[in-house]
Every structure is written in C-alpha cells, then in structure tokens.
Amino acid sequence: MFQIMNHYANLLVRNIQDYVDKDEPCAMKDVLGAYSMDVVTSSSFSVNIDSLNKPNDPFVTQTKKLLKVGLFSPALLFVVIFPFLRPVLERLNFNFFPKDFLNFYMNAVTSFKEQRQKGNHSGRVDFLQLMLDSRVEDSSGLNKEQKALTDTEIMAQSIVFILAGFETTSLTLTYLFYNLATHPDVQKKLQEEVDSYLPNKANPTYDILKKMEYLDMVVQETLRMYPAAARLERVSKQTVEINGVTIPQGIVCMIPSYVLHNDPEFWPEPEEFRPERFSKENRENHTPYTFLPFGDGPRNCIGMRFAMLSMKVAITAILQHFTCRPCKDTLIPMELSGQGFMQPKNPIVLQFVSRSTTNH
C-alpha cells in the first residue's frame, strides 16, 4: 500500500503545481481531500482513480455520494447522538445507505474477485486483496472461507474504511499545513529534516519515515490541537466507581478528547502550536490518557498506522517541492465550526510557492 500512497502523493504535488503556475491560492480541503479520497478508495477497492481531475469517474461520483450520505446521514447522526439506540436499529435490520450504493460496491468486489480467479492479478497489495487472501484454503484442506469474511462483509469493511479514513486524514492534513503556514520557523525546520533524510526529492520509504522525529512531532501536535473526533465513546465492561461517580456496566461513556487536548492543566498554553511537546524528552512527562487522537487500549483506531503513514507521505512530498504561506484569503485566527468532525468554520486557503523560487 506504500506504493499506492507514493503514487497519489506525486499526483498531489502535480495538482498543487497547477496552483503555483497560475499564482493562485489553494483551497486546502480540495487538494488534500482528493488525495485522501484517492488513497482510501484505491486501497479499499483496488482501483486507480483521480478524483480532482476526473470527477466523472463512476467510482469518484459514487464515493463522493457515499461520503456525503455516510458522514451526514440524519440516521447516522441520530445514532451518534443517541448511541444506546443502536441495538434497536440492528434488530430492525436498518441500512444507513441506499441500495444502489451497496450494489455498486458489491459489484466492484465481485468484479475484482472474478479478475483474480482468471489470473489477472497485478500483484499490488491493498485491503481488498488482503481480505480476499484470507479466504484461501489451508494445508489441512479445511476451507477458511467458512470462517473468513463473506463478499458482503468485505464490501462493508471497505466502505467503513473509506468513511473512517477520508475525513480524518484530509482534515488533519489541512490543519497541519495551516499550522506550518502560520509558523514559518516550524515549516523551515521540518523542510530541513525532510531534505536531510530524502535528498534530491527522493520518494520516502517506511523505514525513513519512522526515523523522522520532527515530522512525527508536528503531526502529533496538530492532532492534539485539532483531533478529528471531538469525543470518543466506550461501553463499560463492568460497574465501576471513579471519584465517587458510579458507572454501571453496559453504559456508554463519552470521553471529550478535544477538551482533554486543550486543558491547560495538562498542556500549558494549549492554543499555542508547539511540536516540542512531543519530543522524546517531553513525552515522558505526559499525563496518561490526556492525548487520545486515535483512542487508546485494545479498541483504539484500527486504521491509526495507515492514517499516520498516509499523512506523512503527503507531507514530505509537498514540503520537498513547496513552501506554504498565508494569503489574503487566509483567516487568522482560524475558527472551528464544532459541527460533526472538528471542521474549520470557513475553508482554509493558503498560497504555495515553489521552493526553487524561495531558495533564490
């Protein structure tokens, strides 16, 4: 899947270059949303799409509809607000998505499976391929397909991956480049790290990204300031008492991650963007469970590593070629809407400049 990310990161660079060539400001959610959607859709359904330049592609149009319906469906929002009603809807066999959506994605899974059975396998590794690989027979002759995912479950898992991965990744990247544009000293330091690990604009590798400490610090600090989910939910496994408050077994508990991330008791001057909070030395002083961008424990976000990797690939690719700056359309300070995901009240617009220009 790393190859998929690199492919779309290079496409992202070309898309930003179009704005640079025209000397136009860039609406960050447009280009970063396209990158995020292309990566998660390609990884989920083994397709190659270009949502920004080929908006009429059937997969692009269906995925955009899916994201619009899935993220802002009244029924889904109702369940988010009243999570205790979820079992009732499950018993009623309630579907959040129209049948034509489900049929489209089911046909995609079926088509890919048929191509593979004919021997038309490209060798690429993505989630759809991995889920189908789990259904091969083992050496004992027992068919794992009976225990593994069905076609419907594979389709459902792919859709969930798109819904969970698109908005969180695109929003975090948008906030991160806003932070870099408004903190040029941080941006310069990060560019220097990128250049030192990836000279001559080399494509990143997994091992190299793991070594880039300042990159990780910048991403983590952005996630602290702007967690994609303002709250988390967990069901208590047993009745417990915490500070005199009894939490019954089976009750849904809501954890306000945004409030924790911006509590001055744990994060001095929380409104300030300071990547050094996440240096190796300072991490040791963090109070446990006060930083929860992906949750924690055995039920933390299953796509956490994929999301982090996807973001870091995009960040390094962009910073190898460009410097971002505020422009007349950049609202400083930024305001949050507080509706649904943590979204900016107004679109974040920045100006990109080629580094070949800024270096002279």
CB within 8 Å of 12: residues ≥ 6 apart: 31, 32, 34, 35, 314, 317, 318
Known binding residues? 301
Q: What is the Cα–Cα distance from 211 to 209, expressed in whole angstroms?
A: 5
At 286, give phi and psi (nearest 5°): -70, 140
Known binding residues for heme? 301
DSSP readout, 250-266? Answer: T-EEEE-HHHHHT-TTT
Instruction: Tell me the three state secondary structure of residue 344.
Output: strand
Other beta carbons within 10 Å of 202: 11
CA distances from 272 to 43, 96, 224 (A): 35, 39, 11
CB within 8 Å of 156: residues ≥ 6 apart: none
Give yes or no for a contact between 324 and 180, defined as CB atoms under 8 angstroms apart.
Answer: yes
Q: What is the Cα–Cα distance from 150 to 91, expressed in whole angstroms?
A: 20
